[in-house]
Amino acid sequence: MLRAVRDKYAWAILLAAWLMAGARVVRRPVRREPGAISEALAKQVYLEITGEEAEERRSAALRFQGNGWSQQDDFHAKEKGTVRNVAREHHVSISSAISALDLGMRERWPTKPNAVVAQKVIPCRPRLAY
Amino acid sequence: MRLAWFTLLALAATWQSLGKAGLFTETTDAQHFSLYEETARLTLTHFHELPLWNPYYCGGIPALGTPSARFASPTFLFTLLFGTLRAEPLILMAMTVVGLEGAYRYALARGGGAAGALLAAPIFALCGCFARWQSFAWTNFYGFQLVPWVLLGFRDLCRGSRRGVLVFASTLAWMIGFGGTYAAPITALATVTEAIQALLARRHRPGNFARLAAAVGAAAAFALALSLFRLWPVAENLSASPRVLGGTEWTTLESLRRDLFGDPAQKYLHGDYLAGLFVLPLFLLGGLRRRAMPILITSLFWLWLALGYGVKPSLFALLRTVPPYTMLRAPERILPLFVLGFAVVTSLALRRLEVLCRRAPTAVLLVLGSVGVFGMNLFTLVRNASETAKARTMIAPPAVVHREFRQTRGNRWLAFYYAEASRGTLACFDDYNVAESPDLRGDLPHEEYLKDTDAGMVTETAWAPGRLELKVALLRPARVYVNQNWHPGWRASRGIVVADHGLLAIDLPAGVHDVVLRFLPRSAILGSLASLAAVCVGVYVWRQTRNSDRFGSGAALARQVGLFASPLLLPLFGLLFWREPRRPQEPMLTPDGEPIVVSLPPVDATRILARWVSSGITLEAVRLKKLDTSTDRDTRISVELDWRFDKKPPSGVGVFVHIEGGSSNLIALDHAFLSGTILIDDAPLHTTLRDVSEELLIPNDKDPKEMKVFVGLFYARRDGARLMDIQADAPVERGRISVGSFSIP
């Protein structure tokens, strides 16, 4: 009898704990980043991000000599920083900046002189040691 | 009541994380881990198909074959109900409850007593590692919470319990399905120590060995069948694109001490693998018990392994010679096994004091004191979890854009953003060499195309991750290209599926065709059927065990073993009838596109003839070449080494090249693949092998400089030691040969 009552309370506590967890998870409204920006602004964002590519790739090549994938990966790490900085400067979201980069490459938007925008990638080959 | 208490504890430990649900963790690994889960969710809920193929990463990878994807687990239900990001803390909470209950049961089985086990369980399940892994969004590492369950099942099956087999196999399969890239192989080690303990316990009853072997064999076969839905695709994927790992990671005892017991000088007790400082006296007391002896011995092994290459002899180095542990890194990740043993020993201490109370009632004060110590320890663990979660940098999740799928060049450091925008990121990373075509493009107007554009046209009529429908009109036979990776699991309703430089393609005759391309890999289908059959066997056995849980002996034992192994017949039969094309071998070409295997070194190479005598390896010649792509700012060079292997090289050997001189730092080219293609272990014998580096970039200084080049061999995938027995005319120092120099303007 006592055990049955105790079990009932235990189940109630367990259920209440999960309800609290569920409520805490769904209660908080999460606003996703806004996506759309004007074409003119997107073109400017594209111009600025791709303008850094040649120098970022050179710097990555100096850091990871003779390892093409690591150079590419290091460039992409730098590109992430550039995307974030350019997005911040233009008060747009990272999602918008990425969207501009994608569209710009696809539609061959104008870039700065001497800009290099690679369209192919080197297959993933992690380094021997990290 | 116990489960309610554990749920409350898990709620307290994950409270901060629950409050951040829906936000995105700002770490690199979160990008691809979240991508794997989110694309699996999308595939199921948006495209209404099983997540077998993931086109959103690396140009397409087998979803079940991706070792660290976590969706093939019961916790995926949370993802389906709440979405990928919101579900994450709920998954952590659920896994914490599982870990608490498992640790409790395991400690109890080890003789810890109900009270001791109850109080000691949080030492394992709230260990600092789980808080730390959460910060990196390594949700799949929560598979470690299943370790005590696997061991508990194994202990039970060793005692002849069939339910033990079910618990062992189902939790191991869960761990593997949950992406337990570390948890599963490390748990396998712990299982070996349990097996040794079971053998030792039966050393005076050798007649029981056969029964034990039968039970363990049945469990192994059943666990294999139950996890085959995941193990087979992963094994297939890794065999096509192996992880070749070097490095000699190590740590010190002092560092391990800080990890396990925290630094009291800090604001709160924090450790990467925090077990807690307060219970240390209880551990010492529990360690005096005879029962604790096997745990203490195995714990020493775990510490020895965790030190990595930082101790000689290195047990970790030895382990790294055994497949699949050749792919294991981060030796400190073995520490959860130590923490589990630590928790069990503290429970033994409380049990000891409880027993003492019967003889000396005043000992109840010691029991109460111990309970207080456990309480303080629990507080520090919950606080550590809370504070670590609070410190996580979380950001607004990316915008979701539902539109036609396209591959982009992408960026693995932002991979999740691309997936949410219906884009695949070709630039990617995972812990293995992904089988990825170099011909994938990120700027195509259409994802399916003809290179021979005059031959006709291709139109995509329907798209889902694992199913493409195309309308193809051809004036003459032609090859249709799909901007995704080829895999033997792709099938077409018309034409022949081929791999073109790793790219998915279909050869079609002239005419108008409605082509359906489906991804149905043999490994996933047959593996899943075997796992389903194993589930059916499991349910049947569970119902049988209501009457008797024992294996029995003689014919009954043989029947049980056969029953547990029977699901494996399904894939075995399947293999007889279901053929898949072999993956084409990567062409053996240098980065310039020239053959690697030649009869002699190039004529303009400098002869060196240096021999590593005992290994039968010869460096025949070297060519240092300035490339035409050099500019006023930089000089570009390539280094070619021409090798000859007269016998199978020592396992795990790699090449190092050092370039020194001028104001540049040392340039080190360590590699295990010749020309990035042939693994030295697999190198063809008695011929010249050209090992050409990719382009090196050396900035031009104001003054000209001389760069010297040194070459040597080392145990790249072992302890890093150099091979020293060199015979050469060229100068040799510290296991490296001076092979030449070049000048930079």
Q: Number of Cβ pairs closer than 8 Å across A and B?
A: 208
Q: Is the pLDDT of residue B369 over 90?
A: yes
Q: Any bridge partners for residue B448, and if so which?
A: B482
Q: Say if residue B468's pLDDT is above 70.
A: yes
- Whether the pLDDT of residue B703 is over 80: the answer is no
**Model confidence over B58-92: pLDDT tens digits?**
999 999 999 999 999 999 999 999 999 999 999 99
Half-sphere CA count of B111, side-chain side, radius 13 A = 14
**What whole-number distance in Å separates Cα of residue B302 and Cα of residue B322?**
17
Residues in Cβ contact with B301 at an 8 Å cutoff, skipping those fewer than 6 apart? B193, B315
Q: Check whether B460 has a pLDDT greater than 90.
A: yes
* Residue B706 confidence class, pLDDT cut points 50, 70, 90: confident
Residue-wise pLDDT for B556-565, tens only, equals 999 999 999 9
Query: What does the mean pLDDT of chain B come to?
Result: 94
Whether residue B709 contacts residue B659, with contact meaning beta carbons closer than 8 Å, is answered with yes
Stretch among B171-175, B213-217, B265-269, B442-446 having the lowest mean pLDDT = B265-269
Distance from CA of B55 to the nearest CA of A (A): 15
**pLDDT value at residue B309:** 92
pLDDT band of B552, cuts 50, 70, 90: confident
Q: Which residues of A fall within a CB distance of 8 Å from B21?
A: 24-26, 28, 30
pLDDT 10s digits, B394-446: 999 999 999 999 999 999 999 999 999 999 999 999 988 999 999 999 999 99
CB–CB contact A24 B19 (8 Å): yes
Peptide bond into B313 cis (omega under 30): yes
Is residue B284 over pLDDT 80?
Answer: yes
Residue range B597-744, CATH number: 2.60.40
SS3 (DSSP) at B610 = strand
Query: Is B499 a residue whose pLDDT tops 70?
Result: yes
What residue spans define the domains of chain A? 39-107
- State residue B661's pLDDT score: 84
Q: How far is B677 from chain A (nearest CA, A)?
A: 11
Over range B688-706, report the average pLDDT.
88
pTM here is 0.95
The crossing angle, in degrees rounded to 10, of helices A68-89 and A53-63 is 140
As given in the structure block, the two tokens for residue B104 are: 């409790």
Q: How far is CA B281 from CA B151, B268, B337, in A?
A: 26, 20, 20
> Is residue B296 a contact partner of residue B363, using CB atoms and an 8 Å limit?
no
Q: Is A3 on the interface with B (CB under 8 A)?
A: no
Give B411's contacts in chain A (Cβ within 8 Å): 76, 79-80, 83, 98
- Among B320-324, B365-369, B383-387, the minimum mean pLDDT is found in B320-324
Please enumerate in sequence order all residues whose Cβ is within 8 A of that of A92, keeping only pairs 6 or more positions apart, or say none.
Answer: A37, A41, A45
| Predicted local distance difference test score (pLDDT) of residue B607 | 94
CB B649 within 8 A of CB B617: yes
**CA B372, CA B126: separation in Å to the nearest integer?**
17
Phi-psi group of B554: left, alpha or beta (phi > 0 → left; psi -120 to 50 → alpha; rest → beta): left
Cβ pair B507, B492 in contact under 8 A: no
pLDDT at B249 over 90: no
Residue B392 in this model has a pLDDT that exceeds 70? yes
- In this complex, which of B15, B436, B444 lies closest to A124 when CB atoms are compared? B436
Q: Tell me whether residues B443 and A34 touch, CB distance under 8 A.
A: no
Strands of B486-613 (E only): list them.
490-492, 496-500, 503-508, 511-519, 597-598, 606-612
- Taking only residues 32 to 91 of chain A, the set having a beta carbon closer than 8 angstroms to any beta carbon of chain B reads 32-35, 58, 61-62, 65-68, 72-73, 76-77, 79-80, 83
> From A14, which residue of chain B is nearest by alpha-carbon distance?
B4
Tell me, rounded to whole angstroms, the distance of Cα B675 from its chain centroid: 26
Copy the structure tokens of residue B467: 């199913």
Range with the poorest average pLDDT among A27-36, B137-146, B543-552? A27-36
Q: What integer pLDDT is reported at residue B537 of this predicted model? A: 97
DSSP string, B644-689: EESSPPPTT-EEEEEEE-TTSPPEEEEESEETTTEEGGGPPSSSEE
Parallel/antiparallel/unpaired status of strands B503-508 and B726-727: unpaired
A82 min Cα distance to partner chain B (Å)? 12
Q: Which of B11, B410, B421 sits opposite A99 (nearest CB)?
A: B421
C-beta of residue B84 within 8 angstroms of C-beta of residue B34: yes
Contact list in B for residue A54 (CB cut-off 8 A) is none
Interface pTM, i.e. ipTM:
0.96
Predicted local distance difference test score (pLDDT) of residue B663: 66
For residue B575, report the phi and psi dihedrals to the nearest 5 degrees: -65, -30
Residues of A in contact with B86 (CB under 8 A): 25-26, 30
Mutate which: B400, B413, B709, vs A, most A CBs within 10 A: B413
The mean pLDDT value for B106-130 works out to 96
Residue B14 Cα to chain centre, angstroms: 25
Q: How many CB atoms are located within 10 Å of the residue B606 CB?
A: 14
Domain boundaries, chain B: 2-394, 437-519, 597-744
Residue B472 banded pLDDT, cuts 50, 70, 90: very high
Q: Is the peptide bond before B336 cis (omega within 30 degrees of 0)?
A: no
Q: How confident is the model at residue B702 (pLDDT cuts 50, 70, 90)?
A: confident
Q: How far apart are CA B456 and CA B317, in angstroms?
A: 58
Contacts 24+ apart (CB under 8 A), B681-687: B681/B648, B681/B649, B681/B651, B681/B652, B681/B653, B683/B643, B683/B645, B683/B649, B684/B597, B684/B645, B685/B645, B685/B646, B685/B647, B685/B648, B686/B644, B686/B645, B686/B646, B687/B597, B687/B598, B687/B599, B687/B644
Distances in Å between the Cα of B168 and the Cα atoms of B155, B218, B226, B496 are 9, 11, 11, 43
Instruction: Tell whether the model's pLDDT for residue B389 goes beyond 70.
Output: yes
pLDDT band at B208 (very low <50, low <70, confident <90, very high): confident
Name the residue with tokens 């139109």. Answer: B459
The answer to whether the CB atoms of B399 and A77 lie below 8 A apart is no
Instruction: Tell which CATH classification among 3.40.1350, 2.60.40, 2.60.420, 2.60.120 matches the domain B437-519.
Output: 2.60.420
CA B358 to chain CA centroid, Å, is: 50
Give per-residue pLDDT as tens, B13-67: 999 999 999 999 989 999 999 999 999 999 999 999 999 999 999 999 999 999 9
Closest partner residue to A80 (CB to CB) among B21, B58, B411 is B411
Percent with pLDDT over 90 in chain B: 85
pLDDT of residue B664: 65
What's residue B650's pLDDT? 92
Q: CA of A16, closest CA in chain B: separation in Å?
A: 9
Contacts A108 to B, Cβ<8 Å: 443
The C-alpha of A11 sits at a distance from chain B's nearest C-alpha, in angstroms, of 7
Q: How many CB atoms lie within 10 A of CB A67?
A: 24
In angstroms and rounded to an integer, the radius of gyration of the C-alpha atoms of chain B is 29
Contact B305, B337 (CB under 8 A): no
A118 at the B interface (CB within 8 A)?
Answer: yes
Position B497 scores a pLDDT of: 97
The backbone region for B661, taken as left when phi is positive above 0, alpha when psi lies in -120 to 50, beta otherwise, is left
- On whether the CB atoms of residues B423 and A100 are closer than 8 A, the answer is no
Q: Is residue B254's pLDDT more than 90?
A: yes
Burial group, residue B536, by CB count within 10 angstroms (0-12, 13-18, 19+): exposed
